[in-house]
Structure 1
Amino acid sequence: MKRRLILHFPREAVHQPITYRLAVDFDIAAKILKAQIAPNQSGTMVVELSGDIDELAAAETWLESQGLSLNRAPAQISIDAQLCVDCGLCSSVCPSGALALHQPVWQLQFDAQRCLVCEQCIPSCPLDAIALVLAPPVKATP
């Protein structure tokens, strides 16, 4: 099973070997999609965790016990077709190839299945046509 999380590191947790501990203690593979962490400062990291569902739950509990806050809200990239002029700047920074210009019409194509939600495309758009949309929380059924 895979789960995408946004980890928020407090200053005290920045030097901890988080991904190493996830691999060794929980048999969880951590794919870092985006990280902004500076020594002796707080930071944020977007990770995709892969592993057994029970181990993922235990790993999340451990991460929180280490002082990290987790954002489990699923998000997706949204492109406003009314604002987009198909310039292709976003496709040049997309690491997964989810954004691409296709010939012969040179129109922007977005493949949501390939999207990592790394958010690198958002600041690259000169017209602010790309946004991060958080999905509403799923309500539990009784």
Structure 2
Amino acid sequence: MKRRITLHFPREAVHQPITYRLAVEFDIAAKILRAQIAPNQSGTMVVELSGDIDDLDAAEQWLEGQGLGLNRAAGQIQIDPQLCVDCGICSSLCPSGALTFAEPDCRLEFNAQRCLVCEQCIPSCPFEAIALVLDSSSVAAS
């Protein structure tokens, strides 16, 4: 099973070997999709966790016990066709290939099934045509 979560690190927790401990102690694979963490500053990491459902639940409880905030809010990337000018900047940053620039008509194509929701495309869009739409039924913990 896979889960995408956002980890919020307080200043005092940024030095912890989180992904190592998830692998060793919980048999969880952690794929880091995006990280903004610096020494002695609070930080954020978007991570896809893979493993057995019971191990995932235990790992999330452990993460919260380490003082990390977890955001489990499910969301999806949406592109506003009224704002998008098909410049293709976002496609050059997309690690999964969900955003592609189709030739010969020079149109941006979005494959939602391939999207990791890593959010790297959002700040790259000069026209703010890309947004993360959160599922309102999700519960977030901090």
Q: Aligned equivalents of 1:138 and 1:116: distance in 2?
A: 17
Match of 1:94 in 2: 94
Match of 2:27 in 1: 27
User: SS in structure 1 opposite 2:122?
Assistant: helix
Match of 1:18 in 2: 18
Q: Aligned equivalents of 2:104 and 2:127: distance in 1?
A: 23
Q: Aligned equivalents of 1:125 and 1:42: distance in 2?
A: 26
Q: Aligned equivalents of 2:38 and 2:138: distance in 1?
A: 34
User: SS in structure 1 opposite 2:137?
Assistant: coil
Match of 2:123 in 1: 123
Match of 1:4 in 2: 4
Match of 1:63 in 2: 63
The alpha carbon displacement at 1:40 in A equals 0.9
Aligned residues: 139
TM-score with structure 1 length normalisation?
0.94
- 1:94-113 residue pairs with structure 2 within 5 A? 94-113=94-113
Deviations 1:66-117 (A, max 9, x none): 0001000001111001111111111111111110111121111001111111
CA 1:22–1:99 in structure 2 vs 1: closer, same or farther (change >3 Å)? same
Question: What residue ranges of structure 2 are gaps of 5+ in the alignment?
Answer: none
Deviations 1:29-48 (A, max 9, x none): 00000000000111000000
**Letter of the 1:117 counterpart:** V
The alpha carbon displacement at 1:138 in A equals 5.3
Match of 2:49 in 1: 49
Match of 1:137 in 2: 137
**Letter of the 1:23 counterpart:** A
Stretch deviating more after TM superposition (130-139 or 90-99): 130-139
Question: What residue ranges of structure 1 are gaps of 5+ in the alignment?
Answer: none
Percent of pairs identical after alignment?
78
Deviating above 3 A after TM superposition, structure 1's stretches of 4 or more consecutive aligned residues are none
Residue pair 2:72, 2:138 contacting (<8 A) in 1 also: no
Q: Aligned equivalents of 2:101 and 2:21: distance in 1?
A: 40
Once superposed, what is the RMSD of the aligned Cα atoms?
1.2
TM-score with structure 2 length normalisation?
0.94
